[in-house]
A and B are shown apart, each in its own frame.
Chain A
């Protein structure tokens, strides 16, 4: 049986997620790992939007904020179970992305980046200011997702770190699987066609505005679910989750690894998640380094790390 490249990617990713914990010196690394997976999930959404469709969003953090606060507020105010609140947040994010995207994605160029930026900042502002609901800038507690207790009833005892490592790892795999499937689906081909040329895509009968909205809604749902997982894991969420810098960070992760490929983007998420952990001594220089990385990658490795490295290897083979 021939296994296609898509499945090799997934198998490799799954193996990596499963095997790495064997080398963890302490429980802390489970936490770093699950942080990486959550970022990877959000960034996979950016691959669909930016890598496939060529649109840029500077407001993904706004959707992460909606996802995060859905898990904080819905269980307390409406008695929704936290796991369902993830779905609720994703639905709200998707609908908002549709409403914001519909008028704007008819336009070309940098308009979506501007509109999404405005949207993201408005979300952050509401989360900061509506103190009666969100408790303001200090943040708010998020209830326990409750699944770990369920698992231990079935005789599967995991530490908190292990549980979240496994759950976020599985979510990342599912997210990557969907994104990879999408790539070769008719919608994915339409997206990549309009990335090449919107005019050419529309002449072959692609409804350019509609597929762009689909990509934006999908990426919003990814960001929202990632935000929810982050909030549930931390059992706490602050409005910083929706901040502009968080949006920029996500886009940087995606372009660093290679925005056109799922494994590349996940690698980018990995590098930028681990970098601050390694460079804690250099906290002063974090912004300096982040800025340099962003500029350097865009100037010298325009396709991102993974595609550029692959090309370099292929070039040497020939």
Chain B
């Protein structure tokens, strides 16, 4: 029993990060229809920039803030320099552009930072808390709490603020949003900034547990993507549930089946979802206008 609880704890911690990555995917996908394979690089940048800013002598909260702001700027640059100029290009081209961006960001980080594995101290010490025979790290609570706070904040943003509703309107119908006077270009910029900032925030939260390096982004992007598919592409609620479910499945696979095939869980899920319910758990069936 305590063993199962232990797996659940670790699964939810990792799952919270997947949920944040999936949420980032969702925001960009809704605003622009682009599947952003560079999403994982945002998480990497969040962790790496914090590491290096902290090592340069800045206090941790300031270092984390800088990391999130810089990553958001990278997100905006990605939109302005690579996605906007290719507007109207076929899906194939957009996918290749974001994969190119992810490889580019990885290559640049390898040069700017280094190839070592890094970490920084946990926010509130390394002492684990004992719950019913299992243990959970304080940092895990930070990760889970942080993810929940992001989801709550975004929910408020999208439902209660004019700007949030403008973003929703743009994702529903770009042309119609433009006609009622919404600055859709700004909405795109905002979506990329928001999505990058959320990714970086996830990176800041999880680095003390999982450590970070220049090449962690790709795996995270793929897992986050699996989570978004599982929940239903384009649905924030789906991103949360999909992320947590994927984290749990991975932890249980590692615990009870095979730790070697832990990472396979995500891809088996992708295939199973596509085979049996391509709209995901919360997705709607889409129809096409001709």
Contacts and interface: CB of A to CB of B under 8 A. Distances in A.
B95 interface: yes
A110 B95 contact: yes
Interface stretch (A20-28, A81-89, A100-108): A100-108
A222 to B, nearest CB: 18
A117 interface: yes
A224 to B, nearest CB: 19
A294 interface: yes
Give chain A's interface secondary structure class: helix
B86 to A, nearest CB: 5
Given A54-B90, A299-B85, A117 B222 contact: yes
Contacts of B104: 287-288, 290-292, 294-295
Contacts of B95: 56, 58, 110, 113
A68 B195 CA distance: 40
Contacts of A255: 92-93, 96
B275 A125 contact: no
Given A104-B274, A109-B91, A284 B218 contact: no
Given A107-B278, A290-B103, A114 B263 contact: no
Nearest to A287: B107
Contacts of A129: 260-261
B275 A118 contact: no
Contacts of B266: 118
A252 B97 CA distance: 10
A248 interface: yes
Contacts of A107: 274, 278
A295 B100 contact: yes
A207 interface: no
Contact of A298 (B35, B100, B260, B290): B100
A54 B91 CA distance: 9
Given A103-B274, A288-B107, A122 B267 contact: yes
A58 to B, nearest CB: 8
B221 to A, nearest CB: 10
Contacts of B222: 117, 121, 244
A96 to B, nearest CB: 12
B96 A298 contact: yes
A50 B290 CA distance: 22
Contacts of A100: 271
A244 B90 CA distance: 22
A9 interface: no
Given A107-B278, A110-B35, A295-B97, A125 B261 contact: yes
Interface in A273-295: 284-295
A167 interface: no
Contacts of A294: 96-97, 99-100, 103-104
Contacts of B218: 244
A103 B275 contact: yes
Contact of B288 (A125, A199, A244, A286): A199
23 contacts: A50-B92, A103-B274, A104-B274, A104-B275, A113-B95, A118-B267, A121-B267, A125-B260, A125-B264, A248-B99, A287-B103, A287-B106, A290-B104, A290-B107, A291-B101, A291-B104, A291-B106, A295-B82, A295-B104, A298-B86, A298-B96, A298-B97, A299-B85
Interface of B: 35, 82, 85-86, 89-97, 99-108, 110-111, 218, 222, 225-226, 229, 260-261, 263-264, 266-268, 270-271, 274-275, 278, 288, 290
Given A119-B267, A199-B290, A294-B103, 11 more contacts: A54-B90, A125-B261, A125-B264, A129-B261, A284-B111, A291-B100, A294-B96, A295-B101, A298-B93, A299-B86, A302-B89
